[in-house]
Structures are given as C-alpha cells and as structure tokens.
Amino acid sequence: MAKPVKARFEKGKSCSGGAGHPVHSESNEFREGLKNRLIRDCGHNEYHEISAIWNLDIWRYAEKYLENLCGNAIDIGAFTGFNSFCLSQYFDKVYSVDHVCYLPDDRPENIEFVEADIDACNYQLPDEFFNACFMVEILEHLRWSPLPLLKWLATHVGLLFITTPDDDEWPPLKDHEWVQKGHYSELPVAYEGCEGNPIPMEHVKQYKMSEFVEMLSECGFRVIELVRVGEGKHQMLAICQPQSG
C-alpha cells in the first residue's frame, strides 16, 4: 500500500465561483511539486519517476483543452492520483477510480475515490456525465476486452485522454498463458467470476497505432489529436471526442 503524501493540496477553484482556473505557470508549478512529492513520499519511487515523464508530457497537450471546462471529471486507473490531483485544479469534482485506494490521505476535498475493478465484470462507475476522462497507461494491463468500458465512456464523457504503448516500439509481451496477442476484436469479454490480470503491473495486450485508433472509432470516439509522449516517445496519447458530439 502506498504511503500518504505529506503535503498540502488545495481544492481546485470552481468555474461557477468566478475564480477561474490556475494560470499556466501555476499549473506547471503545481505539477512539478506534486511529481516531486509523490516520488519522495508515496512509495513506488521508480514507477513515479518513470510515469512522471509521460504524465507531464500528457498535461502539456491536455491543458489547452481544459481551460474552459469545469463540472465533473473521472480518472480511471488513478493509482496514487497524479492525474486526479491535476484534474482537481480544473474541475468541481473528480472521481478517482481504481480497484483499491492508493490515494494519499491529504488529497483535495473535491476528489472522491471510487472502488471498481475494470478488469472484471459487474463493476459500477458513477452514472454521470464527465467533461473529461483520463485513462492513462491502463489498456495494456487489461486481460479482458476494453470495448464495453470504452463504449460506455463514449456516452458519458466530453473529452477522453487515453494512452497506451505502441506495440511496434515496445518490448514484446512475456510468454504468460493469459497474454493476448491477437487483434482487439478477438479479446474475450469479462464474465461472472473471471479473474483479471494475475500480474497487474505487467502488460497483457499491446496495441499498434492503427489498431488503437480503429478500436476507439469502433467504440464511438473521434480522435482529434494523436501524439507521442513519454521517454523515447513510444507511448501514444489519443485525445478524443464522442462521434455523436
């Protein structure tokens, strides 16, 4: 279990309150400070040092899309909450989703933890509309088809920020019996009593760029920007809107 971050984080200002969002320089300062505190105080130091590279990259692209948004946001696969904390600076409420709570005890008041194992069936997410959804480095860890979740998101979010490594530029999957090497359309759907990824920190399925975009389109999203992030730029960030929007 991750240790609490020993730092003070302030609740994001509400659009309705007229205070507006933090200016660009304040946002950068907040993210850099948060990164350093998670590395120092939250355990999983090596992971936080690596993930900070792609998370800071993601926010360089995401910030311009969030400038005029407020309301609700959701962070799926939040872990210790870097993206949840950053979203809390823009949105009135942030739902931070994971199968267990790793969030620091002193998280902002407008972050609400939601326990949900999305690598299973019968999980429940808040039945609300979210102006933004972050799903960062999650797809590749899911043993079961992500299509049901992505199709649900296409009817519940205004903007989706989703990343995954490019299979053409990433080390090959390990030879476990549960690894999925076929096309996304061949992935089995989770069923009652099924078990998720036995080694959650390892990859189960990796996506090529064309497959990634095709899957998002099939699930009801239109990719409005596709960029590379992370060390070496081997990870794909798709910024999407629902096709019906």
Given pLDDT bands bounded at 50, 70 and 90, which one contains residue 30? confident
Q: What is the pLDDT of residue 53?
A: 85
Section 153-164 average pLDDT: 98
Q: What is the mean pLDDT of residues 48-64?
A: 89
130 has which bridge partners? Answer: 157
**For position 7, what pLDDT does the model report?**
32
pLDDT at 141 over 90: yes
Asked whether residue 198 carries a pLDDT value surpassing 80, the answer given is: yes
Percent of the chain's residues with pLDDT above 70: 88
Q: What is the CA radius of gyration of the chain?
A: 17
Distance CA 116, CA 121 (A): 10
Provide the pLDDT for residue 29.
Answer: 82
- Amino acid making up residue 10: E
Query: Which of 20-34, 119-133, 169-183, 213-227 comes out lowest in average pLDDT?
Result: 20-34
Could you please state the CATH topology (level 3) that the domain comprising 20-242 is classified under.
Rossmann fold (3.40.50)
- Are 176 and 199 in contact by the 8 Å Cβ rule? The answer is yes
pLDDT score, position 14: 41
CA dihedral 1, 191, 164, 97 (to 10 degrees): -40
Lowest mean pLDDT among 35-39, 74-78, 92-96, 192-196: 35-39
Average pLDDT over residues 27-53: 77
Per-residue confidence (pLDDT) for residue 211, from 0 to 100: 98
> Over the stretch 164-173, which tens digit does the pLDDT of each residue have?
999 999 999 9
**What pTM, to 2 d.p., does this model score?**
0.88
Angle at 89 between CA 85 and CA 92, to 5 degrees: 100
Cα 115 to chain centroid distance, Å, stands at: 15
